[in-house]
Amino acid sequence: MKILIVYKSYHLMNTEKIAKAMAEATNATLIRVDEVHPEDIAIYDLVGFGSGIYGGRHHKELFALVETMPSMEGNVFVFSTSGSGNEAYHRPLKEALTAKGCHIRGEFQCRGEARFLKFIRTNRGHPDEKDLEDARTFAKGLITA
């Protein structure tokens, strides 16, 4: 099973940690969103799309990728790290993927540390080891499902 994980992470590289854990657990190819060729996505059996949540949704570069990639009836999953860990943030990206013909096979989210101004710091230490283990378990579950 060929698996690709595409991600965008820039604030504290929280989502990158989750993406790496998932890739290691499943032997997936891991690629940053700015490195992926939209037309290559269709050759994979399963593609994960993930980023931090910024202003209530995934990073705009993920939406741009989904917009430009060819329509495909492939299997996909979405994941995120965010301040609140709210899965409802996934809806816009899931809708964009579904509109492309993709089948959503699962979704994963966890809290990620965030720093605002100089002194506001939330979710310190997240993703932590348990978050990473949860991500590995989730990703492995997609393979056997």
Ligand X SMILES: Cc1cc2nc3c(=O)[nH]c(=O)nc-3n(C[C@H](O)[C@H](O)[C@H](O)COP(=O)(O)O)c2cc1C
Q: Name which of residues 38 to 57 contact ligand X (CB under 6 A).
A: 52-56
Cβ 87 to ligand X shortest distance, Å: 11
Does 23 bind ligand X (CB under 6 A)? Our answer is: no
Q: Which residue has the tokens 């310190």?
A: 124
Of 26, 75, 81, 109, which one interacts with ligand X (CB under 6 A)?
81
Stretch binding ligand X (CB under 6 A), from 6-14, 37-45, 91-99, 133-141? 6-14
Q: How many residues lie near ligand X (CB under 6 A)?
A: 20
Does 61 bind ligand X (CB under 6 A)? Our answer is: no
At position 30, the amino acid (one-letter code) is L
Measure the N-to-C terminal CA separation of the chain; round to a whole number of Å.
Answer: 12
Cβ 76 to ligand X shortest distance, Å: 19
- For residues 8 and 38, the answer to whether their CB atoms sit within 8 Å is no
- Can you list the positions of beta strands (E) in the chain? 3-8, 29-32, 46-54, 57-58, 75-82, 103-111, 114-116, 120-122
Does 75 bind ligand X (CB under 6 A)? Our answer is: no
